[in-house]
Every structure is written in structure tokens, then in C-alpha cells.
Structure 1
Amino acid sequence: MTRFVHDEFAKDYLEELLKPYGEVKSSSKISGEIKEIDVLFTPSAQQTSNLELLGLLGRFAEFPAILEPFRNAASGDEICDCIQKLLEVKSGLRRDAKANKTKLQDSNIPKLWVLTPTASPALLSSFNVNQKSEWLPGIYFLGDALRTAIVAIHQLLQIPETLWLRILGRGSTQSQAIIELQALPSNHPYKQVTLELVYNLRENLRINQNLELDDTELIMRLEPLYQQDRERAKQEGKKEGKEEGQQDLIIRQLNRRFGEIDASLIEQVRGLSIEQLSTLGEALLDFSVVADLEVWMNQQAG
């Protein structure tokens, strides 16, 4: 259960950061044996102006990208599965180009970025990786034809350029990143939305009974930040904007879980209070079909 919670957080987080710069598809299905790409990103033609705000993640987003974040250290088999997804996407692009009688440009083929919290020397050696001088430590490239890199998050330098990737780490790496996130200026364009996502992760983790030590420590780390932020938001009269952000987040999670949900249900979600939205955020983890949401909404109306 906790792995699912972290997976949903990672997808929502990457979508929020990248959507101003292009098209983001999370849980994107590919042909053949049913597989899902965690995040498939296609940059827009006008996206380059502010990408530096995302540091190293922004460099990944300069070109089409497949982002595969792992909560636990990615195994060799899991990395191979990611590469297979990339190759199937490439095959689909080649078929489309052939059908349209055009040439597939290398720049249109996504690059795969495997985001793993840790990576052992043995694992990296097994893929015969290499590092490139123009990239920061912690980025390991496979052969050029594979268009793949393994990002060992625990090896990234603690500098602003890596912050948005270290948020997806675990243990002390993630805790340090959250401290740096909290210290950003209040007007930073990605500070508040990221904090909201982190707080939502905290709430979803709290309902689990069998938490790993890392998750327990993360909840404890976030508790004072959460309380401070909520008090500040209350004092500054930001409740309305906070509700809208929470509404959008819940709706994205529902759409990802069940596909596009009915407009009338979306309207009902937008009518919920901030307290009800928080409760729904916890409850939807137990929903298996849209009917569960409808029952829940009827209970609130009753």
C-alpha cells in the first residue's frame, strides 16, 4: 500500500512541475503486453524560457522524456522493463513515421530517465554505465543507442540544481530536500504546489498501519512544517486558493484511477469543503470502482 502511495505522489509531483512546459501523460499505456509508463513528457515549442527553475529535472525536460521514479532501489530486472517500454515507444513512433512517409528524427524519440533512490556499484556495473563530464555526479548513462540514464538520487550533490529530484529520494536525502524546499522564497513558483503534494503524501501515509521507518520519519519531519504552513495560510486568507489546488489534485487522482469521470461528479467534488477534500483524499485509496465514489458523495450529501 505504501508503495502505491509513493508512486501516486511521484506521478502527481512530476506532472505538476512539468505541465507548464509541455504535454504530460502519467500512467500512459503502451501496446503489446499491457504496461504503463509512469510519466511520458513531450515538451512544447515554447517551453524553454523557465526550465532552469527545475535545475537538473529541467535539463531532462529539454527533450521528450520517459520518467520512471522508484520508491525502492530499482533492480536490474525493473530497469530492463523500463528499457523495454522505451523500445516499444520507439517502435510505435517508427511505425507512425512509416505510415506517414516521414523520417523519424532522433530528437523526437524520448530519453529514459530511471529515478532510483539508491543504486549499488554492482547494479551500475551490470549495465556497463558511464558518466559524462557535462552532467553532474549521480547520472549514469547506458550506451547512446539505448537513450537511457540511471539517476542515483542519493549520489546527487546537495545543490539547488538537484532539489527537485532529491524530493523523490528517501531517508535523509528526501528530508534534506524538504528542508531546502521549505526555505525557498514564498513567491517561488513551485514551492507551494510541491508542499501541498508532500502534505498530501503525509496524509495518505498516516492511514497505513505498517509503515517503514523511512515513512515514519518522513511524517514526523513534515508534521511541524505542515502545522506552520496551515497556520500561515489561514492567517493570509489563502483558504480559497488552497481548496482549488486540493480539488484539482483529487480530480487528477480520480481520473488516473478510473479514467475520465462524469462532469457531474467533478462538480460535486468542487463543492466539497477543505475538510471533506482531505477525507476524500484518504478514502479514495480504498475505492475500486467509480460507484464507490458515488456512494461516498451520497453519504456526504446525506
Structure 2
Amino acid sequence: MAQNSFDQLSKQYLEEFLAPLGTVQRQYEIPGEAKFADLWFVPNSDALPAPDLGLLGRMVGKPCLFEPYRNVPTRTEVRVSIMKLVWVQEDERRKAQQDELAEDALPQLWILAATTSRPLLEEAEVKAKSDWMPGVYFLAGILKTAIVAIDQLPEVEETLWLRVLGRGATQERAIREVLALPIDHPRRGNVLRLLASWKVRIDLGELVDFAEREEIMALSEAFLAWEAETQTRSQAEGARHQARSLILLQLEQKFGALPDEANAQISALNLDQLGRLAIALLNFTVVSDLMTWLHEQQN
């Protein structure tokens, strides 16, 4: 099955966020049909809320399908997406061995549209809800479907992880927001890695519709930042490994084989702590001095 690069990035990107929260299946085969849903997500029963995901985190509170589109979805694409949802809902009903499932138990469809048009939204007769952000439009309640107009989402922290899947100026600004995050932000590195991969595909000519100059420049910056940070982390880890090996050699020459607990704690020390240990060990006379010092680092 042919897949374009935006489809692949969207699935990898969403999987990056959702895998810790539940079961994610890309190219989920629709039961009884030769159709595939782009992404099928089932949250873990014991999953904790993920407030840092903002709007995306709210969308995945229950089983759902994701269908991302880089261009304005056509009538046919919207209809086919809804058809996939109905087949999945029916399969869930069969698995539960119930004639009817409670409405809250039925999967939801999220159509992620990087860009939309007024005719599409008018023809779908969508409605905004006061308890949802602007840019999230719901079809008739019976359809359990919403169109997320990424280009209309407010540019706030809660929408950042969805706006990265936008296009043009929307995506360009979102990428710059990711670059502005602290280097130790838990999601920054993985998102830059995915964007760097996408940038490589653009360089290889796989995205023939990628004409927005500012967007390409932002992706280039994401690629360079990821490359530099990866190199820095690699160098730091190499220095830490070298320092740890040297310190272990000195300690073993001084005390003989070290307790497993000491080895484990030394392995967990960062480069700065290893530097302090290299100085402190000069004053150690027995292994208990080392253990006391290591214990102090944990407090």
C-alpha cells in the first residue's frame, strides 16, 4: 500500500506521544473490509492523564481513530473515514458480545486536517462546542466524528503537539516553539528526531508538494538542532563512560572488587558527580568511606 511521507510522519509522530498511554496500531485493518485506518488507539485501563499533551491528551481519553490529512479532506475522504469508524465500532460491539454499546464506550474519529476550507466545514454541517477549543468541529453527535482544523487552533501551549502536524506558517511557528523549549524537555528530543527524519525525506524529493520556504527553513533548523544535540549527548556520554572506567579502576586497585551496590551507584552518577568522586576517593581509606559518599549523593 503506497504511503506518502506526511502519512508516515503523522503516524510515527502520534505513536511517539500515545504509545506510553495505551495500544497504538498503525495501518489498523478494518475488520471485514479491505480498508486500513491510519492510526487506532486504545488507552491503557490504568493509564494516568497526560496533561502535558494538552488538547491531544484530551482527545485520547477513550479508544479512537486518527485520520491525518495534509491537504483539505475531500467529501469522499471524510465519508470513507466515517465508514472506517462504523466498521470499527461494529467490531467492538461484537467483541463485547453486546447488541448495543454505551455511547461513551464507542470509539471516536478524529480527522486531523492540516488545512481546511469553509465549503468543507459548511457541507459537513459541523458545530463548535463551547467546552472545546476553537478549530475543533464536531459532526452530528450520532457520527462520533470531529474535524480538527489545525490551521485554526489557537497558538497556545495546549495545541503545540497538534500544530506541529500543520502546514505552512502554522507548522513553521510550531517548530520554532519546539526549538525554543529547554534542551532537557522530555519531549523535545524525540520530536526533533522525527522532524529531522522528515527533513531528510524532503531533501530526497519525496514531498513534491512541499513548496513553503519558511516551513522548509524551520525544518532545517530542527534538523541542525537535533544533529548538534545528538552529537553533544554522544560526546558527553563518551566522556562519562571514560571517567567512570578510570574511577572504577582506581577504586578496584585501592580496595579490590567493589560491592555490586557500589558499582550500580557509580554507574548512575553524572559527569559532574564523577569529577567530585575522583577527588574524594583520594581520601578514602576503606570501602565504607566510598559507600557513605555514594549515599550522600542520593540525598
- TM-score bracket, shorter-length normalisation: 0.7 to 0.9
Out of 132, 140, 143, the residue aligned to residue 143 of structure 1 is 140
The answer to whether the aligner puts 1:23 opposite 2:20 as a matched pair is no
1:87-236 → structure 2 map (5 Å cutoff): 87-98=86-97, 104-208=101-205, 211-214=208-211, 217-236=214-233
C-alpha contact (below 8 Å) 2:189/2:226 kept by paired residues: no
Counterparts in 2 of 1:240 and 1:28: CA distance versus 1, 3 Å? farther
Q: Which residue of 1 aligns with 2:46?
A: 46
1:57-72 → structure 2 map (5 Å cutoff): 57-72=56-71
TM-score normalised to the size of structure 2? 0.74
- In terms of mean alpha carbon deviation, does 25-34 or 201-210 score higher? 201-210
Q: Which residue of 1 aligns with 2:270?
A: none
Partners of 2:91 and 2:237 in 1: CA distance:
44
* C-alpha distance after superposition, 1:51-106 (max 9, x if no partner): 111100000011111111111111121011100000001111222223xx586333
Partners of 1:109 and 1:206 in 2: CA distance:
42
Q: CA deviation at 1:45?
A: 1.8
Counterparts in 2 of 1:129 and 1:167: CA distance versus 1, 3 Å? same
TM-score normalised to the size of structure 1? 0.73
> Percent sequence identity over matched residues?
38
C-alpha contact (below 8 Å) 1:167/1:174 kept by paired residues: yes
- In terms of mean alpha carbon deviation, does 206-215 or 64-73 score higher? 206-215
Counterparts in 2 of 1:209 and 1:28: CA distance versus 1, 3 Å? closer
Partners of 1:215 and 1:6 in 2: CA distance:
15
C-alpha contact (below 8 Å) 1:97/1:103 kept by paired residues: no
Aligned-residue RMSD, C-alpha:
2.2
Q: Which residue of 2 aligns with 1:299?
A: none
Partners of 1:187 and 1:27 in 2: CA distance:
32
Partners of 1:8 and 1:236 in 2: CA distance:
27
- Give the match's secondary structure for 1:198: helix
Structure number with bigger Rg: 2
Partners of 2:22 and 2:229 in 1: CA distance:
32
Partners of 1:238 and 1:105 in 2: CA distance:
54
- Give the match's secondary structure for 2:20: helix
The structure whose RCO (Cα within 8 Å, separation 6+) is larger is 1
Partners of 2:235 and 2:109 in 1: CA distance:
38
Structure 2: gaps spanning 5 or more residues: 239-299
Partners of 2:168 and 2:220 in 1: CA distance:
16
